[in-house]
């Protein structure tokens, strides 16, 4: 009976440790299989399997030096595949992981920089052609880069340029409807985007005809000089200031004040005057 009690702890110890040792052995065996499976996946072009096996090998990480090399090979080829398939954001994400890993090589960083520069060039080309949304889509993968610090960078700059040009054309159209030709021409000259310049061609043609008409009507005046006012300037200024204080737009206040004094607005070149 004493002998039986002595053997029981050994039996339970073997019963408990046996499965653990078996599991450890299986894990070790699987780890030994992973490099070969990764190689087979690479050769067969099964890059998703390659990445999955690489993650498993990284988690086990009992084989020194094997993890970075195999993972790097998978990421490098998969990133190239994604880039060629126009999955730019995923390609850049994988390429960044490769660059930041021990398997990263100088050529990998160079490729990452080239891809990002390619997207910037494509964005600028689309922007100049008038495709703002297409340009912003090209910049999205770059904007999510950790190096961007969460800033829009070039995307914000393109939006600002686009909006500024849009507003200048809108202003030129409004001024041309009011026959304020010189101011309209100034707004048109501030448009510096090729697509918006082309879009403003019809307005520019109308404004230039208006300017030419003004110059023809007032050719007796020096277009570079100032026109004399023939109304009481003190009264005119007082009326204008009261209207502006009441919320009226400056040019309209000038026109109405001039009419109130019995005059009419005369334009010659960039100058305007109230004359009877």
Q: Where are the domains of the chain?
A: 17-152, 159-218, 230-266
φ, ψ (nearest 5 deg) of residue 272: -135, 150
- Cα–Cα nearest to 49, from 28, 77, 21, 68: 77
Residue 150, pLDDT above cutoff 50: no
pLDDT of residue 58: 62
How many angstroms separate the CA atoms of 214 and 234, rounded? 27
Backbone phi and psi for residue 105, each to the nearest 5 degrees, phi listed first: -120, 160
- Confidence tier at 47 by pLDDT (50, 70, 90): low
Task: Please compute the mean of the pLDDT values over residues 227-241 and round it to a whole number.
Answer: 74
Percent of the chain beyond pLDDT 90?
A: 30
User: Which of 139-153, 227-241, 247-261 comes out lowest in average pLDDT?
Assistant: 139-153
Mean local confidence (pLDDT), 205-213: 88
CB-based contacts of 235, cutoff 8 Å, min separation 6 = 261
**Partners of 272 in the beta sheet?**
267
Name the pTM for this structure: 0.61
Predicted pLDDT at 219: 58
> Taking 90 as the threshold, does the pLDDT of residue 123 lie above it?
yes
pLDDT at 235 over 70: yes
Which of the four pLDDT bands, split at 50, 70 and 90, describes residue 30? very low
Which band of pLDDT confidence, cut at 50, 70 and 90, is reported for residue 248? confident
Q: Give the pLDDT confidence score for residue 39 in this predicted structure.
A: 65
pLDDT for 63 beyond 70: no
Instruction: For residues 237-244, give the mean pLDDT.
Output: 81
Phi, psi for 269 (deg, rounded to 5): 65, -135
Q: What pLDDT, on a 0 to 100 scale, did the predictor assign at position 180? A: 86
Flag the least confident range among 9-18, 156-165, 171-180, 210-219. 9-18
Q: What is the end-to-end Cα distance of the chain in Å, rounded?
A: 135
Task: Name which of 200, 136, 196, 188 is nearest 163 in CA terms.
Answer: 196
| pLDDT tops 90 at residue 268 | no
Q: Residue 196's pLDDT band (boundaries 50, 70, 90)?
A: very high
Check pLDDT > 90 for residue 52. Answer: no
Q: Predicted confidence band at 120 (pLDDT cuts at 50, 70, 90)?
A: very high
Q: Which residues contact 275 (CB under 8 A, 6 or more apart)?
A: 227, 228, 229, 230, 231, 263, 264, 266
* pLDDT recorded at residue 251: 78
Asked if residues 115 and 91 have their Cβ atoms less than 8 Å apart, the reply is yes
Report residue 44's pLDDT band, with 50, 70 and 90 as the boundaries: low
User: Alpha helices, DSSP H only, in 131-200?
Assistant: 132-143, 154-177, 181-189, 194-199
The arithmetic mean of pLDDT across residues 163-177, rounded, is: 94
């Amino acid at each position: 009976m004493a002998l039986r009690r002595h053997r029981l702890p050994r039996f339970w110890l073997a019963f408990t440790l046996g499965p653990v040792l078996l599991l450890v052995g299986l894990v070790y065996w699987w780890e030994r299989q992973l490099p070969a499976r990764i190689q087979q996946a690479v050769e067969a072009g099964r890059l998703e399997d390659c990445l999955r096996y690489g993650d498993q090998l990284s988690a086990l990480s009992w084989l020194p030096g094997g993890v970075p090399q195999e993972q790097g090979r998978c990421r490098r080829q998969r990133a190239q595949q994604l880039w060629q398939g126009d999955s730019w954001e995923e390609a850049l994400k994988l390429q960044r992981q490769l660059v930041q890993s021990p398997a990263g090589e100088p050529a990998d960083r160079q490729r990452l920089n080239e891809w990002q520069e390619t997207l910037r060039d494509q964005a600028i080309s689309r922007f100049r052609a008038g495709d703002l949304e297409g340009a912003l889509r090209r910049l999205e993968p770059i904007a999510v880069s950790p190096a961007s610090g969460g800033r829009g960078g070039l995307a914000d700059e393109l939006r600002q340029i686009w909006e500024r040009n849009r507003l200048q054309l809108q202003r030129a159209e409004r001024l041309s409807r009011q026959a304020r030709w010189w101011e309209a021409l100034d707004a048109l000259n501030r448009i510096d985007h090729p697509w918006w310049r082309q879009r403003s061609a019809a307005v520019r043609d109308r404004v230039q005809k208006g300017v030419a008409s003004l110059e023809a009507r007032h050719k007796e005046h020096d277009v570079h000089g100032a026109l004399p006012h023939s109304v009481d300037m003190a009264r005119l200024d007082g009326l204008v200031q009261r209207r502006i204080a009441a919320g009226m737009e400056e040019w309209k206040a000038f026109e109405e004040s001039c009419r109130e004094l019995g005059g009419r607005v005369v334009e010659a070149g960039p100058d305007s005057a109230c004359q009877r």
